[in-house]
Structure 1
Amino acid sequence: MNDASQPNLRQFSVIVPAAGIGRRMGANCPKQYLPLAGKTLLECTLERLISHNQINHIVLAISPEDEYFPQLPIANADWLTVVKGGKERADSVLAGLEALNAEYNESSDWVLVHDAARPCITHSDLDKLLALYETGIGGILSMPVRDTMKRASAEHPNLVSHSEARAHLWHALTPQFFPRQALHDALKKALVQGLSITDEASAIELMGGSVKLVEGLTSNIKVTHPEDLGLAEFYLQHHSSRTQMEKPA
């Protein structure tokens, strides 16, 4: 699905962990299969990624008990590799990395990892993140914290203990983009040591690696609660309209 009119552009692979069930949505199926813009949330995310002109392969990690994905039209896409995900995000990402290791090619020496529930990623944000390849240092899409941050009391979780200074604080988003082997080794070591891994960047950080912050758009939301679906559909329609306006006549 990506644009083959620019064959000299370097190509990259993406790992999408999608083995979770999204309990906070309160739905009768995993949230990645909820309807969005005439498709499923997962389809919107995958198609958004593969339509970028520097992405040619996606590794999707799903639950071994997933009964929904094989029914989707996208399930047999030639640009997609499906692997069994694990209990935790890090397990699923590691399974994706090991699949890339097994079929290693130039497009997987660096990899992106993207949340299945972030369907509104823009090509402009992907462009900025992929530019890190030339620097040799990986990084993440992120947003500076703009709201006042409150620390809850340990004894009384519904009471404020104090306000946190928001200077130098950032929200971590996805995709996250790192050298394949460095990310594989960092995740493997962190899991063996029983360390807490909240995202790919945290594994790199725990191993002493550097992570660059790349400011992204606020529209790159993660669908977590039912009301997020309506907002995601609005952003998808907005991005689609802008893309059509920017196409040359």
Structure 2
Amino acid sequence: MAEQHKVWAIIPAAGIGGRMSADIPKQYLKIYGRPMLHHTLSRICASPVIDGVIIGISPQDSRWSKDLFTHPKILGVCDGGRERRDTVLNGLKFLDGLDEVAQSDWALVHDAVRPGIMQQDIQNLLTQANDNQIGAVLGKRLADTLKITDENQAIQQTVDRKNFWRAFTPQVFRLGDLLRAIEVSVADGVQITDESMAMEQLGFHPAMVEGHSSNNKITTRDDLDLADLLLAKF
């Protein structure tokens, strides 16, 4: 039987949500009666496979103290950085400094603005990561026809969508591997868009795991309205 390692979650919540055009960062906008961030943290903390949670909060954030979320699994808050990657890196360093955390443990990163994560998806993700011992990314296969256009938006080609996925979070990797991968991306000046990309730069090939469509990222007002309906259902 494979050795069991602990799972530590990092929730980057330092964004300002510019595309939402709201008066407050979008993670504090209310969905189904509570701040979006609270829904996300509730679901992550409720997972029996997760041992502890770190939240990345901007030093300029004046809302966190007003909308504080408490739970026995919350280990603390790390400083949010200028980029999401910086916040995740700070979270990894925070965890790496704790006595109960090993570099061979799993680090699970999940967006604060994906409040619809399903418990079964978290379990499936960890099962796959334990199977391949590298890591895994939650996502969804592309269902729409995929087109390539030129600079004038004229269609040039229709692409076979068979092997294309939308990458979601959570994404889970060995804490030590992800820490090294992000540090290398910073040192090399590589702009990564998610944790998997950092790992891919070092030659790792994480697994994609099909997730539930309720786990959409909340970016616009339309997304917010849809999330309100989905959370009421799920």
> What's 1:242 paired with?
none
What corresponds to 1:244 in structure 2?
Answer: none
Match of 1:178 in 2: 173
RMSD: 1.7
Structure 1 counterpart of 2:140, from 140, 143, 147: 143
Q: Which residue of 2 aligns with 1:124?
A: 120
Match of 1:19 in 2: 14
Task: Tell me the TM-score normalised to structure 1 length.
Answer: 0.87
Query: Which residue number corresponds to residue 79 of structure 1?
Result: 73
Percent identity of equivalent pairs:
37
Once structures 1 and 2 are overlaid, which stretch shifts more, 182-191 or 9-18? 9-18
Structure 1 residues 134, 128: closer, same or farther in 2, change over 3 A?
same
Instruction: List structure 1 runs of 4+ shifted beyond 6 angstroms.
Output: none
**TM-score, reference length from structure 2:** 0.92
Structure 1 gaps, min length 5: 1-8, 240-249
Single out whichever of 158-167 and 52-61 deviates more from structure 2: 158-167
For residue 152 of structure 1, report the CA deviation from its aligned partner.
3.0
Distance 1:206-1:10 versus aligned 2 partners, 3 A rule: closer
Aligned to 2:53: 58
Q: Is the 8 A contact 2:11 2:112 kept in 1?
A: yes
User: SS in structure 1 opposite 2:143?
Assistant: coil
Cα drift, residue 10 of structure 1: 6.2
Q: 1:152 aligns with which of 149, 163, 168?
A: 149
Aligned length: 228
For residue 132 of structure 1, report the CA deviation from its aligned partner.
Answer: 2.6
Aligned equivalent of 1:113:
109
Q: Matches of 1:67 and 1:107 in 2, distance apart?
A: 33
Q: Distance in 2 between matches of 1:143 and 1:104?
A: 36
Does structure 2 retain, via aligned residues, the 8 Å contact 1:10–1:54? Answer: no
The residue that corresponds to 2:215 in the other structure is 220
- Uncovered stretches (5+) of structure 2, i.e. residues with no partner: none
Cα distance in 2 between the residues matched to 1:10 and 1:194: 32
